[in-house]
Amino acid sequence: MTTKNQDELFGTAPIRRILLKTAPPVMLAQLIQALYNIVDSFFVGKYSTDALTALTVIYPLQLIIIALAVGTGVGTNTYMARKYALNQPKKADAAAGTGMVLAVVMWAVLAIVSVCIMQPYVKTSASSPAAIDAAVTYGIIVSVGSLGSFLEGNWTKVHQAQGNMRLPMLAQITGALINIIFDPLLIFGVGFFPKMGVAGAAIATVLGQVAAAIITGIKGFRKPPALRELGHYAKKIYFYGYSSIFMQGLYILALNIILAGFSDAAVTVLGLYYKLQSFFFIPLFGLQTCIVPVISFNLARKNYSRCKRTMNLSFLISALFMVLGVICFVFFSRQMVDVFSNSQEVHDIGAQAFPIIGASFLPAVFSLMMPVFFQAIGAGVRSVFL
């Protein structure tokens, strides 16, 4: 997309039209991702309760991978949008290339650290020997195989900084569908596929991530700048992205460790909640993705009224959709838990916890959108504080 086209999309088009054009592809991709998470938990839950606990124990680690990948991508996205607004496309491309280098470095560090600490980490959140073994197996595979997730996180944001939401949508849908197809084949050993249990679920996840990375990388790849310039661009990227990394990465990790002191079933319920709530938070998360380049672009142009209109409309749309989540979690909590687990303990904990959490969904519209606003304008400290 040329700078002129970006100006027409982000700088002059009505805000409602921008969100209607950019948000639906993101929401559709996230819908497919949410369905994948639910299907994944369904198949693994049918395989064994210990395997379902293993997925829940490793889920915080997967969130940390996503936080590092997407947070770095958000920093790249925000900085690129500013440079496009100032008609400096070469600097935007240099930032995109730097983001790719950072993605590879983060993957290498995380893979090495994960292999070294996986078993001690798992033992903080699970007590059953079978659950511990399954979690270690699943965790090592998804950590070492997470390069696709890191690269896709960067290349997706490169496209979104240019206003291209359709290609990332196609990539994420393709990755999720590959994951969904291979899940039962590799978990249960259908046809000539071996029965691999929880390891099969992990391999299916990696295959989906690699497919998404290939699709976004074909046009998202940018040549990194000279070595002496990498530090400059990396500093800018993390200036805009560190709050996103912090917000996404730490919360559920702390909760898992706390709940492990009660029972494995409590940890399982937490994992089910996060996968189910992501389904209802799709409009909010989709808008979070779309407003960052719009606000960053208009802030660089000092067009503050458009930034304000963007936030007001995002609040309204998110609140309307969140009402549905409140209804489901408050009034249909038992039915939602029953889909994934036959454990009476998981059923009882979920029936108590889900209505309480669901009641917080409407306030979450503001508590989750405002940090993204501060992140988009470069006020990372306020974003982390909120």
Question: Tokens 């709940």 belong to which residue?
Answer: 259
Look-up: residue for tokens 């921008």? 18
Closest by Cα among 343, 345, 362, 365 to 353: 345
Distance CA 58, CA 65 (A): 11
What is the reported pLDDT for 236? 85
Which tokens go with 27? 């929401």
Q: Rounded to 5 degrees, what are φ and ψ at 195?
A: -80, 110
Specify whether the CB–CB gap between 283 and 361 falls below 8 A: no
**Tokens read off for 199:** 């390891």
Each of the 386 residues of the chain gets a pLDDT tens digit; together they read 545 555 566 777 888 888 887 778 777 777 777 677 677 777 887 788 788 888 878 877 887 888 788 778 888 888 888 888 788 889 999 999 999 999 999 999 999 999 999 999 888 877 788 889 999 999 999 999 999 999 998 999 888 888 787 898 889 889 988 988 998 999 998 888 899 988 999 999 999 999 999 999 999 999 999 988 999 999 888 877 666 666 665 566 666 667 766 777 787 787 788 777 777 777 787 787 788 888 888 888 888 888 899 999 889 888 888 888 888 888 888 888 877 777 788 888 888 888 888 888 888 888 888 888 887 787 777 877 77
CA distance 18 to 371: 21
Cβ-Cβ contacts under 8 Å for 304 (sequence gap 6 or more): 298
> What are the two backbone dihedrals, phi and then psi, of residue 146, each rounded to the nearest 5 degrees?
-85, 5
Nearest alpha-carbon partner for 38 in 282, 252, 359: 282
Count CB atoms within 10 A of the CB of residue 294. 26
The tokens for 175 are 């990755």
The model carries a pTM of 0.73
CB atoms within 10 A of CB 200: 25
Contact between 252 and 60 (Cβ < 8 Å): yes
Q: Structure tokens of 350?
A: 């979920």
Tokens of 255: 């909760």
SS3 163: coil
Q: How far apart are CA 88 and CA 93, in angstroms?
A: 9
In which region does residue 13 sit, left (phi positive, over 0), alpha (psi from -120 to 50) or beta (all else)?
beta
What is d(CA 225, CA 344) in angstroms, rounded to the nearest whole number? 56
